[in-house]
Protein backbone atom coordinates (compact mmCIF):
# COMPACT_ATOMS: atom_id res chain seq x y z
CA UNK A 1 0.00 0.00 0.00
CA UNK A 2 2.88 2.38 0.77
CA UNK A 3 4.38 1.88 -2.69
CA UNK A 4 1.15 2.68 -4.52
CA UNK A 5 0.67 5.86 -2.45
CA UNK A 6 4.18 7.02 -3.38
CA UNK A 7 3.43 6.28 -7.06
CA UNK A 8 0.23 8.40 -6.90
CA UNK A 9 2.13 11.29 -5.30
CA UNK A 10 4.86 11.11 -7.98
CA UNK A 11 2.27 11.00 -10.80
CA UNK A 12 0.40 13.93 -9.26
CA UNK A 13 3.67 15.90 -9.10
CA UNK A 14 4.48 15.14 -12.75
CA UNK A 15 0.99 16.22 -13.91
CA UNK A 16 1.19 19.41 -11.83
CA UNK A 17 4.65 20.20 -13.26
CA UNK A 18 3.56 19.66 -16.88
CA UNK A 19 0.47 21.82 -16.33
CA UNK A 20 2.55 24.61 -14.78
CA UNK A 21 5.03 24.47 -17.67
CA UNK A 22 2.24 24.72 -20.24
CA UNK A 23 0.68 27.71 -18.48
CA UNK A 24 4.06 29.44 -18.22
CA UNK A 25 4.77 28.98 -21.94
CA UNK A 26 1.32 30.22 -22.91
CA UNK A 27 1.69 33.39 -20.82
CA UNK A 28 5.22 34.13 -22.02
CA UNK A 29 4.19 33.64 -25.68
CA UNK A 30 1.26 36.07 -25.31
CA UNK A 31 3.43 38.77 -23.70
CA UNK A 32 5.41 40.96 -26.16
CA UNK A 33 9.15 40.57 -25.80
CA UNK A 34 11.58 43.43 -25.32
CA UNK A 35 15.02 42.96 -26.83
CA UNK A 36 18.01 45.12 -27.76
CA UNK A 37 16.68 48.04 -25.70
CA UNK A 38 14.03 48.56 -28.36
CA UNK A 39 10.36 48.72 -27.33
CA UNK A 40 8.38 45.63 -28.33
CA UNK A 41 5.80 47.71 -30.19
CA UNK A 42 8.46 48.80 -32.67
CA UNK A 43 9.62 45.23 -33.26
CA UNK A 44 6.09 44.01 -34.00
CA UNK A 45 5.29 46.81 -36.43
CA UNK A 46 8.78 46.55 -37.95
CA UNK A 47 9.02 50.32 -38.11
CA UNK A 48 12.26 51.70 -39.39
CA UNK A 49 14.38 54.00 -37.27
CA UNK A 50 14.67 57.28 -39.12
CA UNK A 51 16.50 59.44 -36.62
CA UNK A 52 17.50 60.32 -33.07
CA UNK A 53 16.66 62.97 -30.47
CA UNK A 54 19.34 64.37 -28.18
CA UNK A 55 18.35 63.96 -24.54
CA UNK A 56 19.83 64.22 -21.06
CA UNK A 57 18.24 63.34 -17.70
CA UNK A 58 19.76 66.35 -15.91
CA UNK A 59 19.83 69.58 -17.89
CA UNK A 60 22.41 71.07 -15.52
CA UNK A 61 24.94 68.38 -16.53
CA UNK A 62 24.81 69.25 -20.22
CA UNK A 63 27.85 70.83 -21.78
CA UNK A 64 27.45 74.24 -23.44
CA UNK A 65 27.93 72.76 -26.93
CA UNK A 66 24.91 70.44 -26.53
CA UNK A 67 22.48 72.90 -24.89
CA UNK A 68 21.33 74.45 -28.20
CA UNK A 69 20.55 71.03 -29.72
CA UNK A 70 19.05 69.39 -26.61
CA UNK A 71 15.65 67.97 -27.52
CA UNK A 72 16.13 68.43 -31.26
CA UNK A 73 15.63 65.59 -33.72
CA UNK A 74 18.18 64.60 -36.35
CA UNK A 75 18.08 62.10 -39.24
CA UNK A 76 20.52 59.22 -38.74
CA UNK A 77 23.15 60.46 -41.24
CA UNK A 78 23.13 63.99 -39.75
CA UNK A 79 23.22 63.13 -36.05
CA UNK A 80 25.95 64.82 -34.02
CA UNK A 81 28.58 62.68 -32.34
CA UNK A 82 28.19 62.26 -28.57
CA UNK A 83 30.03 63.15 -26.39
CA UNK A 84 31.07 66.31 -28.22
CA UNK A 85 34.67 67.49 -28.32
CA UNK A 86 35.57 69.59 -25.31
CA UNK A 87 32.79 68.17 -23.13
CA UNK A 88 33.61 68.93 -19.47
CA UNK A 89 31.71 65.79 -18.37
CA UNK A 90 33.57 63.24 -20.55
CA UNK A 91 33.65 60.56 -17.83
CA UNK A 92 30.10 61.17 -16.58
CA UNK A 93 28.40 62.55 -19.69
CA UNK A 94 24.66 61.88 -19.50
CA UNK A 95 23.75 63.05 -23.00
CA UNK A 96 22.32 60.26 -25.09
CA UNK A 97 20.32 59.46 -28.20
CA UNK A 98 16.65 58.55 -28.12
CA UNK A 99 15.72 56.40 -31.12
CA UNK A 100 12.96 57.77 -33.33
CA UNK A 101 10.85 55.33 -35.31
CA UNK A 102 8.43 55.86 -38.15
CA UNK A 103 4.96 55.78 -36.60
CA UNK A 104 3.12 55.01 -39.82
CA UNK A 105 1.97 51.44 -40.23
CA UNK A 106 0.99 51.74 -43.87
CA UNK A 107 1.81 53.98 -46.80
CA UNK A 108 -0.05 57.25 -46.60
CA UNK A 109 -2.70 58.11 -49.16
CA UNK A 110 -3.03 54.77 -50.78
CA UNK A 111 -5.23 54.38 -53.84
CA UNK A 112 -8.30 53.47 -51.81
CA UNK A 113 -8.10 56.67 -49.74
CA UNK A 114 -7.92 59.08 -52.66
CA UNK A 115 -11.07 60.88 -53.70
CA UNK A 116 -12.63 59.83 -56.94
CA UNK A 117 -15.23 62.60 -57.06
CA UNK A 118 -14.92 66.36 -57.22
CA UNK A 119 -14.85 68.34 -54.00
CA UNK A 120 -18.01 70.30 -54.74
CA UNK A 121 -21.56 69.25 -55.40
CA UNK A 122 -23.15 69.15 -58.83
CA UNK A 123 -25.05 72.29 -59.70
CA UNK A 124 -22.99 74.43 -57.31
CA UNK A 125 -20.32 76.83 -58.45
CA UNK A 126 -16.65 76.16 -57.74
CA UNK A 127 -15.84 77.81 -54.41
CA UNK A 128 -12.26 78.34 -55.44
CA UNK A 129 -13.17 80.79 -58.18
CA UNK A 130 -14.03 84.35 -57.37
CA UNK A 131 -12.75 87.21 -55.30
CA UNK A 132 -9.83 86.66 -52.92
CA UNK A 133 -11.14 86.86 -49.34
CA UNK A 134 -7.83 87.46 -47.58
CA UNK A 135 -7.49 90.88 -45.98
CA UNK A 136 -3.81 91.38 -46.74
CA UNK A 137 -2.89 90.04 -50.18
CA UNK A 138 0.58 91.58 -50.12
CA UNK A 139 1.94 88.89 -47.77
CA UNK A 140 4.66 86.64 -49.15
CA UNK A 141 3.59 83.12 -48.11
CA UNK A 142 6.87 81.47 -49.05
Cis peptide before 39 (omega within 30 of 0): no
Global pTM value: 0.43
How far apart, in whole angstroms, are the C-alpha atoms of residue 34 and residue 39? 6
Q: What is the pLDDT of residues 61-98, one digit of tens each?
A: 788 888 899 999 999 999 988 888 888 877 778 888 99
Q: In whole angstroms, what is the distance from residue 63 CA to residue 70 CA?
A: 10
- Beta-strand (E) ranges in the chain? 49-55, 73-75, 96-101
Cα–Cα nearest to 44, from 60, 31, 62, 28: 31
The ranges assigned to domains in the chain are 44-101
CB-CB contact of 75 with 97 (8 Å): no
Q: Is the pLDDT of residue 37 over 60?
A: no
Predicted confidence (pLDDT) at residue 43 exceeds the cutoff of 50: no
- List Cβ neighbours of 120 (8 Å cut-off, separation of 6 or more): 126, 127
Please check the confidence at residue 41 and state whether its pLDDT lies above 60: no
Amino acid sequence: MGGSFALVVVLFGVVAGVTALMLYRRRSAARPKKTDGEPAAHKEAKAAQWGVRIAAPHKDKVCPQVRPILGKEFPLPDRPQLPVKGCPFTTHCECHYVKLFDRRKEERRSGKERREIKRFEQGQRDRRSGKDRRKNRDVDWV
